[in-house]
Structure 1
Amino acid sequence: MTANNVYCVTKRCFDNISDKDRERDYIGFATLPEQMHRKSVKRGFDFTLMVVGESGLGKSTLINSLFLGDLYKNRKMSDVSDRIEKTTTIEKKTMDIEERGVKLRLTVVDTPGFGDSINCEDSWRVCTAYIDEQFRQYFTDESGLNRRNIQDNRVHCCLYFVPPYGHSLRQMDLELMKRLHRKVNIVVVIAKADTLTSSEVRKLKQRILKDIEDNQIQIYQFPECDSDEDEEFKQQDRELKACVPFAVVGSNTMLEVAGKRVRGRQYPWGVVDVENPRHSDFVKLRTMLISTHMQDLKDVTQDVHYENFRAQCISQISQHALRERGKLKRDSMGNNGETNITETDRLLLQKDEEIRRMQDMLQQMQEKLKASDKKHDSIIDV
């Protein structure tokens, strides 16, 4: 056997050993993200958006512009006489969107009549009642037997439209935000920003943020970027945070400007390009709402707002159970003080007595420990 043949045989042996070692060291959990991705895409995604604001602020136009659809094609505008005693109602629209194989079931909850009546004192009640009802329905389904087919109708984000003609937030705006900020993610939007100059938009944003801070209202907070994120994503995150509240312009009309078709509004002095960052924050709002923070809005709804509601429900159920238990004990006593206690009641009473004894023993031990600590400190001082 020549030296060249020996080298080839030896190399082949080492290659085989390394392949075996490589197979032995490979477990396979690196494919978990791909598995989750395939499962999520197959199941699809749900997102519920509540839109709140008075009529005439362009809410419907903005929603159609954001999702490139027509959710309100059959809507009829009410007359002025109908608005004198008009109340806030809930109008829900659902549409299925598919993009690159990813399916999204979008639900838009509109609140026609909000702020349109002369007395807007209770305009917020319908909004809070709807959000609580969706939480309550989800809690009931989650506590039931058929947990696999739970339909998530919880409100993940609330776009609150502020009119551009005010100098800051109105009392009606503050009252609604105070009652919603612990139930839903609030994103403040300045409507029809093309009616304001750049300096006016900047001043209005500052006043709105000051009112929010002074009234201790918690609007949606952007999560902090991880240290391993690339610089481009960090810059995008800084720009999004700097735009809050978003001053937007919506339009579903395609215009031709300098040989290029744009979505915008035609004015005597020129064209407002909705997707031009210098004209509007529309693109940044769409980026935040759809591209970058949609999942975070859902996570905050699940981990913060729904958990708070769930904790309140469990606390109420526990208190109700204790009251029923006390009532059962009182009912088990006869009129002459004689007890008519069943075996189950007797066991419950024994358990209560054991818990009381354990609490007394724990309190005594804590007092002894405090006394010994005091004695030890006095010895050290001497």
Structure 2
Amino acid sequence: MASNGASPTAPTLPQTVSSSNPKVAAQAASDMRNIVRRKLTGYVGFANLPNQWHRKSVRKGFNFNVMVVGESGLGKSTLVNTLFNTSLYPPKERKPPSLDLAKSVSIQSISADIEENGVRLRLTVVDTPGFGDFINNDESWDPIVKNIEQRFDAYLDAENKVNRMNIVDNRIHAVVFFIQPTGHSLKPLDVEVMRKLHTKVNLIPVIAKSDTLTDEEITAFKHRILADISHHQIQIFEGPRYELDDDETIAENTEIMSKVPFAVVGANYEVTTADGRKVRGRRYPWGVIEVDNEEHCDFVKLRQMLIRTHMEELKENTNNFLYENYRSDKLAAMGVQQDSSVFKEVNPAVKQEEERSLHEAKLQKMEMEMKMVFQQKVAEKESKLRQSEEELYARHREMKEQLDRQRAELEEKKTRIEQGRPIEKETKRKGFSLR
């Protein structure tokens, strides 16, 4: 089913992977350096997989949970309604000045089912009324952080149940953080809240009511905000780049990220421009601010990143990184331990190199042990040989001394015989023995 020639993009790669051991062959086949690239001679059908995934996704529908954080009066509700082009937030009633306000930050959640071209989206917007509205705002971020962690805990509990077929994902996928259009820099409260949130959620900073600033002021304000974010090591969401992205997609994503923090304007109603066009925007004595005009504000870029281009990346980053980090810390704090090698992705080539290094180290250790044993036996043998040599030298000296004495006696007897002197009778002596 495949042609004999490999793809011209990878001529140096091997064409086949074979081994008598099926495990070795499977490991070699999974190695990136051993991927076999083929050109099909006919239609097989797996190119239809994206269409299958599309049908499945449309049938199941999507869900997206976004939290808006900012002080009252910055247009959070208006911006959410403008983003999704719907009246998700009802008109707020004006409260009399004598009404007692809440003493703490509250968490309000609104959900709605939205449908566009047959695609259903379960949208949940979490608002934080009361944030930053007090004289003393210490610990005002606690309800927000606790709500995010409670949603993580609920998802973790659902994962630990026996039946996990219908897990509802209520985790916060993105936090749109509203910054007051002061034109100076981030306030200490903004810095502290962003530091508390950036490890738990995808943080997207926006400059609210940017129509109160000139273009030069907005540009300078963005530079100061990014400098503060970099100085305090706050991680904001950045769209990922993929290897197969075309130049147009890369350019679009680069342009979107160049607008961060987004200077936005919200409007729920249409106005008529000087040339008679009906647009969403705000009318001022000097003209009309068009929400959907990229020359007037960054609303379009924010909508593109949040909804059209990076919604799935926001959910994927939340699930694969933010939630996994929280889950690992949570289970570790509960005393749950796991072997780091479990579910670890293994590169067969790296694994083979590690095994070869371990085998060589084992052989080297065995060689050292054998050398030590050999040296010890050689030392013992040399010691025995030296001891035997000393014993032989001692016996040799003793035998030589005995022979010298016998030779002296014989010489003396010979001399007496020659001189005619009688030989004295002596007791018979035993001769030396070589035993």
Q: Please give the range of the TM-score, normalised by the shorter of the 2 chains.
A: 0.7 to 0.9
Residues 320/296 of structure 1: CA separation in 2 closer, same or farther (3 Å cut): closer
Contact persistence 2:183–2:217 (CA under 8 A): no
Is there any run of 5+ residues in structure 2 with no aligned partner, and where? 1-39, 339-360, 372-435
* Matching of residue 190 in structure 1 with residue 207 in structure 2: yes
1:262-296, Cα deviation, whole Å (9 max, x unpaired): 00101011111111111100001001110000000
2:247 aligns to what?
231
Q: Which amino acid aligns with 2:314?
A: L
Deviation >4 Å, runs of 4+: 23-27, 77-85
**Of 70, 74, 84, which residue of structure 1 is paired with 2:87?**
70
Q: Which whole-Å CA distance do the structure 2 matches of 1:312 and 1:141 have between them?
A: 17
**Of 271, 278, 281, which residue of structure 2 is paired with 1:261?**
278
1:89-115, Cα deviation, whole Å (9 max, x unpaired): 001001111111110000000000000
**Of 268, 271, 286, which residue of structure 2 is paired with 1:252?**
268
Q: Which amino acid aligns with 1:117?
A: F
Q: Which whole-Å CA distance do the structure 1 matches of 2:99 and 2:225 have between them?
A: 31
1:56 aligns to what?
73
Displacement of 1:229 after TM fit? 2.8
1:298 aligns to what?
315
* Matching of residue 272 in structure 1 with residue 292 in structure 2: no
Once the two structures are superposed, the pairs formed by residues 221-370 of structure 1 within 5 Å of their partners are 221-226=238-243, 228-257=244-273, 258-318=275-335
Contact persistence 1:84–1:118 (CA under 8 A): no
**Of 119, 133, 146, which residue of structure 2 is paired with 1:129?**
146
Q: Which amino acid aligns with 2:76?
A: K
Q: Which amino acid aligns with 1:92?
A: S
* Matching of residue 138 in structure 1 with residue 155 in structure 2: yes
TM-score (norm 2): 0.66
Q: Which amino acid aligns with 1:233?
A: T
Q: Which whole-Å CA distance do the structure 1 matches of 2:86 and 2:190 have between them?
A: 28
1:310-364, Cα deviation, whole Å (9 max, x unpaired): 111221233599xxxxxxxxxxxxxxxxxxxxxxxxxxxxxxxxxxxxxxxxxxx
Is there any run of 5+ residues in structure 1 with no aligned partner, and where? 1-22, 322-364, 376-382
* Matching of residue 96 in structure 1 with residue 113 in structure 2: yes
**Of 208, 219, 243, which residue of structure 1 is paired with 2:236?**
219
* Matching of residue 174 in structure 1 with residue 191 in structure 2: yes
Q: Which whole-Å CA distance do the structure 2 matches of 1:147 and 1:153 have between them?
A: 15
Higher mean C-alpha displacement, 72-81 vs 163-172 = 72-81
RMSD value, Cα: 2.7
Q: Which amino acid aligns with 1:136?
A: D
Contact persistence 2:69–2:177 (CA under 8 A): yes
Higher mean C-alpha displacement, 194-203 vs 159-168 = 159-168
Q: Which whole-Å CA distance do the structure 2 matches of 1:270 and 1:27 have between them?
A: 59
Q: Which whole-Å CA distance do the structure 2 matches of 1:296 and 1:93 have between them?
A: 23
Q: Which whole-Å CA distance do the structure 2 matches of 1:103 and 1:84 have between them?
A: 37
Contact persistence 2:183–2:218 (CA under 8 A): no
Displacement of 1:76 after TM fit? 3.1
**1 or 2, which has the higher helix percentage?**
1
Residues 297/32 of structure 1: CA separation in 2 closer, same or farther (3 Å cut): same
Displacement of 1:255 after TM fit? 0.9
Q: Which whole-Å CA distance do the structure 1 matches of 2:95 and 2:337 have between them?
A: 46
* Matching of residue 161 in structure 1 with residue 178 in structure 2: yes
1:48-89, Cα deviation, whole Å (9 max, x unpaired): 000000001011111000001112215334455557763110
2:21 aligns to what?
none
Report the secondary structure of 1:140's partner residue: helix
Residues 108/32 of structure 1: CA separation in 2 closer, same or farther (3 Å cut): same
Residues 118/79 of structure 1: CA separation in 2 closer, same or farther (3 Å cut): farther
Residues 81/53 of structure 1: CA separation in 2 closer, same or farther (3 Å cut): farther
Report the secondary structure of 1:107's partner residue: strand
Displacement of 1:303 after TM fit? 0.5
Q: Which whole-Å CA distance do the structure 2 matches of 1:225 and 1:200 have between them?
A: 34
Q: Which whole-Å CA distance do the structure 1 matches of 2:291 and 2:78 have between them?
A: 12
Q: Which whole-Å CA distance do the structure 2 matches of 1:304 and 1:320 have between them?
A: 19
Once the two structures are superposed, the pairs formed by residues 104-123 of structure 1 within 5 Å of their partners are 104-123=121-140
